[in-house]
Amino acid sequence: MVAEGSDWIVVDKPAGLLTHPTRPDGAPTLWDGLRQLLAYELANRGQLSIITRLDRETSGLVLLALTPERARALGLVMQRGLIGKEYFALVRGWPEWGETTIDAPIIRQGEVRESPVWLKRCIDPRGAAARTDVTLVRRFERDGKKFALVRAEPKTGRTHQIRVHLAHAGYPLVGDKIYGGREGAAYLEFIETGWTPQLAMELLLPRHALHAAVLRFPVGRDIAEVQCGLPSDLRAFAGEAGVIGG
């Protein structure tokens, strides 16, 4: 648990953990773990509601409400786009800009052309409006290849938005099985074979290098801000570049 109020909490979800149950296969989830951890509190407050969700491979901050009243209030705030989010991402290449805005509509790729991966998104004028502000934190080299640490602030909430936008800009996330190249073939290969030495050589990390680092949300008349730094796997990959603010 990273921060808490009287009727909300923010936790730091590790990469690889589902946020909530999606299939009846008994896979562990953040939601199940927190229900066990907060069993006494829930018996008195009555509810655990996930307000912000993260993909399984994305690490970082998740906001949850502990009462029906707070869940409704934060749900309305979410709908109005009043929850601020910032992510750190490790990308391939050296951006030439210090700051940029990627303003490009996003749609599920299968709606506009053939797609080997059903959930893959793409940029298309028929898609929903999507905007991401991106700031370069630091460039670095690793094994003779160029990478960068960037801060991404989505202004809309489209599925896979940061990953799609950065790949579209020419800087795909390290470890991204869907948007890192080969039209998602790495993702299909991973589903069939699991993690292999060949995939490790191609992707460099077993998960996409995206971390939810900052959440801002209104609580009454105040704005709560919660932060957490890069997790150990992304710090290790970036070396000194993983020291935010350094």
Structure tokens at 131: 């905007």
H/E run at residue 148? strand 145-154
Q: How many CB atoms lie within 10 A of CB 197?
A: 7
For CA atoms 172, 146, 231, 216, give the dihedral sign. negative
Residues 6+ away with beta carbon under 8 Å from 167: 173, 176, 179, 180
Structure tokens at 30: 């953040």
CA distance from start to end of the chain: 26
H/E run at residue 200? helix 197-203
Q: What is the largest CA-CA distance in the chain?
A: 56
For CA atoms 166, 157, 84, 37, give the dihedral sign. negative
Distances (CA, A) of 188 to 106, 110, 118, 119: 22, 15, 11, 12
Contact 184, 208 (CB under 8 A): no
Contact 147, 174 (CB under 8 A): yes
Q: How many CB atoms lie within 10 A of CB 208?
A: 27
Instruction: Please tell me which residue in 32, 55, 124, 133 is annotated as part of the active site.
Output: 55
Please indicate whether residue 7 is annotated as part of the active site: no
What is the set of active-site residues?
A: 55
